[in-house]
Amino acid sequence: MKSFNYKQTPIYYQDEGEGKPLLLIHGFLENSSMWNDFTKLWKSNFRVIRIDLPGHGNTAAHTYLHSMAFYAQVCHQFITDLKLEKTIVVGHSMGGYIGLELIHQFPDKIDQLILLNSTALADSEERKAERTRAVKAIQQFPEAFVSMAVKNLFLPENQNRLKQAIEQAIAEAKKCTTQGIIATLEGLKTRKNHQETLAKTKVKSTIVAGKKDQVVNYAPTKQLAKETSTRLVSLPGGHMSHLEFPQETFEIISNLIAKE
């Protein structure tokens, strides 16, 4: 992997292929490896760039609060250092929250934003309380927390079918440091509501949602798309569309980015 420095912290990334830049941003407890299979197919037509965000994968935690705005600033420096004039951004879950911060802070750098299993809405009070409890759990039982948190991203009916993929996802999640997980949970809990950003942006935006998503619920996502006049594409699965329905997810995103 290659790296660049953000305030003396090495940020690791992968850069493959040639053509229009395609920046892939992973979610919480994930890293750049989540995009491996898609990258193999996209790199023949695009310059595919994948980052390990601070506290994830090979990149160490940076501070005690990894806000979405902070992650967006890291990605912006990354885009600037690579001298990318315009890029397409695909963000999974938390990666979508970061993508929204990018079009909020640096809209001139983004050509298109695809929110995969993500939303512009902030955490509810109930969800914030869940994240507070999660911080306490990770401090006491780090490995057990990671395993359970990753398993809960998958629909119960897919647990057996995707057993190997779940085990791999857990192994990748365990690369996150406890500090990084806590810092990111705090950042997720305090993130802004970007419904207005999505409604007013001139950046072409699409939400790709799972109808059974148990993390980013489908009904509010559908309403959000309607209220912000954002294109919504639906899939039959849950929160992990890239693993539950990989072919369908690949085809949907490929069709969207091919139009750029």
Q: In the prediction, which pLDDT does 66 show?
A: 97
Domains recognised in the chain with CATH numbers: 2-258 (3.40.50.1820)
pLDDT in tens, 180-209: 999 999 999 999 999 999 999 999 999 999
Side-chain half-sphere of 224: how many Cα atoms within 13 Å? Answer: 25
Q: In the prediction, which pLDDT does 85 show?
A: 86
Query: How big is the CA angle at 25 (ends 150 and 88), to the nearest 5 degrees?
Result: 145
Strands 9-16 and 204-210: unpaired
Residue type, 138: I
CB 256 within 8 A of CB 89: no
Assigned token pair, 81: 């250092």
CA distance 223 to 254: 25
pLDDT in tens, 63-83: 899 999 999 999 999 999 999
Average pLDDT, the chain: 96
- Grade residue 170 by pLDDT with cuts at 50, 70 and 90: very high
Tell which residue, 105, 111, 67, has the closest CA to residue 86: 111
Q: In the prediction, which pLDDT does 209 show?
A: 98
Q: In the prediction, which pLDDT does 144 show?
A: 95
Q: In the prediction, which pLDDT does 260 show?
A: 59
Q: In the prediction, which pLDDT does 259 show?
A: 72
Sign of the torsion formed by the C-alpha atoms of 64, 66, 71 and 73 = negative
- How many other C-beta atoms lie within 10 A of the C-beta of residue 15? 14
pLDDT in tens, 114-153: 999 999 999 999 999 999 999 999 999 999 999 999 999 9
CA distance 52 to 175: 11
Sign of the torsion formed by the C-alpha atoms of 145, 91, 79 and 76 = negative
CA distance 110 to 258: 15
pTM: predicted TM-score of the whole model, two decimal places: 0.97
- Please say if the pLDDT value at position 106 is more than 70: yes
127 three-state secondary structure = helix
